[in-house]
Structure formats: structure tokens, C-alpha cells
Amino acid sequence: MFKADDLAVFPVDLWIQQGVSWLALNLRPFFLAIKWPIESLLGLNDWIFHAVHFPIFVVAFFLIAWRLSTLGIAVFSAVSLIVIAMLGVWNEAMTTLSLISTAIVFCAVVGIPIGIWCARSDRVWNVVRPILDIMQTTPSFVYLVPVVMLFGVGTVPGEVAVVTAAAPPLIRFTNLGIRMVEREIVEAGLAFGADRRQLLFEIQLPLAIPTILGGLNQTVLTAMVLSVVVAMIGAEGLGLVVLQGLGRLDVGRAAVGGIAIVLLAMVLDRVTQQMATPRKSGRPAERGSLMRTVVRVFRGGRPDETVQVVTRAKEAL
């Protein structure tokens, strides 16, 4: 019988190897230009997260979470952080948080303007959309290949992977949010003589904010997943705990990493999801009963979302 192995094999690996070497050599300034700001901000964030003392951090996180979402979610966040500390992976969790927070900053700074640009020009959107499709259907695992080839291994290349993987949802939702603004309201803006800038800042962006925050939620979760996956290319953090546990067949250690990851993912998801929920009336009434919010945190606003986070976190391992 004629077997697949009998076919002459194209030396694709060699071609790519050479191509990438050429790219790395000739476009070095370009890649450095990408890497430098990421490296700097990551270094700063990492330093801050590790420098702040544990109790202060928990209290600060509690207050911020309360401000951004609800008291119930803030309480849940604080408790989760304490549990993570008691699991003995506080430092790793802080590294993961710095990876995620850095990614959020870059995704917002790059993703939102790109999203706006896409919303205002069909031509741009037609170009960007297939790229986003490819980026979002590529398994996070495969992401690592080009990153390693172009940026090498370690925490900073890992962060590059996190940023590139987490940006697409924000771009998509920003574009969607702006395009979804009621036509009549946009026309009201035009009819009263708004120019393009006024239209954007007075009407389109403000009305797109709930959708953009929904995209931010997706971006945070993607960043969470990727920040774990990039342990495979040598990035530090909770992912590394799991990876090392598995490598040494230390199931207990791996599980500890896993639990911490799930808790962190839930905290970030609940806080950002709550931000995306539009509040109509004043905030005090919204805060409602503590118990109800706690229940909601566990059940989740969107029932399958928690499951999804968990499965994605697992899948990431």
C-alpha cells in the first residue's frame, strides 16, 4: 500500500525557519519597538504588584472592586485573594496579575482606537475582520509558535502573546458598540451640526461604552487564559506552578495552581462583567442585598459564563 509517509516531504519547517530568521534579523528594530514598551510597563506593574504588602493589596483591591462593581463582588474578591495567599502562591498570582493588567492597558490603548477606526470605515473593517477571525480561531497553544520564533522565550515574549491574543475581542466589541448606536441618535447628532470628532465623542463613544466594557471583560478573560498558557514558553506566574506540578507529577501542587487560577479568573470576570452592566438608576439601590450579590457571583450573571471561564482555564492547562 501507498502510505502517507512515502510521499516526498516538503521542507516547510526549513523554509519557515529561514524566513523567520530573515524577519528577525531584518525587522529587528520593529520587533524591538513592539517589545520595549511592553517590557517596560510589565516591569513596572510587576514591581508594583510585588512591592505592595499583602493586606494593603487586599484592602485596595476590595475598594476598587467595590467602586467598579458591587459590594458583594468586592467581598468575594477579597476572600478569593486571601484564599490564594493561603494556598501559598501569592507571589505567582501577583506575577499573573501584572501580566494581565499590562495586557489590559495595551489592549485598551491599541484595541479601542483600532475598533473606532474599524467602525468608521467599512474598508478598514473588511481588512481587520479576517485578521481578527484568524487570531480568535487560532488555539492559544499555536499562538506561541510565531511569538517564540520572533521574540524568543521568557516572561516578556509571553506578555507579547498575551497582548496579541487578548486584543481582538476589544477591537470587535468597540467596532460593534459604535456601529450599534441607534441610527436616529447618530442622525440627531448630524442634524444638529456635529462634526466627525463631536459625533464620536458626544454620541458614539459614550453610547458604545457598555458594549466596549463587555469587550473588556472578554479581553480580561482571554488575557487570563493566555497568561497561564505562556508558562509553556517560560513565562512566570500561576501557569508555571501548574506546569511544574505536572512536570514533577506533583498533582497536589498542580491543583493548587489550578484553584488559584480559577479564583483569579472568577474575580476578574465578575468585576469586569459588572462594569459592563449598564446602571440606570443611582448606584446605592443597585448594590442591593449583600447576600443576593454573593449568590449572583457564584451563579453568574450569564449562567454558562462561569463554566466557560473554568473550562477555558482548564483547557489552558
Binding positions for another protein, rule: CB under 8 A: 182, 184-185, 187-195, 198, 202-203, 206-207, 280
Kindly state the smallest distance separating residue 204's Cβ from another protein, in Å: 11
Q: Which is nearer to another protein, 195 or 304 (CB)?
A: 195
Kindly state the smallest distance separating residue 64's Cβ from another protein, in Å: 23
Give the residue ranges of DSSP H helices in the chain. Answer: 12-26, 28-51, 54-68, 71-86, 90-106, 112-120, 122-137, 140-151, 155-180, 183-191, 196-198, 205-229, 238-247, 251-276, 283-287, 290-299, 303-316
Kindly state the smallest distance separating residue 126's Cβ from another protein, in Å: 18
CA distance 287 to 70: 6
Q: Which is nearer to another protein, 27 or 188 (CB)?
A: 188
CA distance 227 to 222: 8
Rounded to the nearest angstrom, the gap between the alpha carbon of residue 1 and the centroid of all alpha carbons in its chain is 49
CB-CB contact of 317 with 258 (8 Å)? yes
Q: Which of 178, 170, 209 is nearest to 196 (CA)?
A: 178
Q: Which of 160, 313, 287, 161 is nearest to 225 (CA)?
A: 313
Q: Which is nearer to another protein, 193 or 303 (CB)?
A: 193
Kindly state the smallest distance separating residue 198's Cβ from another protein, in Å: 6
Q: Which is nearer to another protein, 76 or 173 (CB)?
A: 173
Q: Which of 106, 222, 98, 91 is nearest to 160 (CA)?
A: 106
Kindly state the smallest distance separating residue 195's Cβ from another protein, in Å: 6
Q: Which is nearer to another protein, 286 or 305 (CB)?
A: 286
CA distance 303 to 264: 18
CB-CB contact of 204 with 180 (8 Å)? no
Q: Which is nearer to another protein, 53 or 280 (CB)?
A: 280
Side-chain-facing half-sphere of 40: CA atoms under 13 Å: 6
Kindly state the smallest distance separating residue 209's Cβ from another protein, in Å: 8
Kindly state the smallest distance separating residue 264's Cβ from another protein, in Å: 32
Q: Which is nearer to another protein, 194 or 317 (CB)?
A: 194
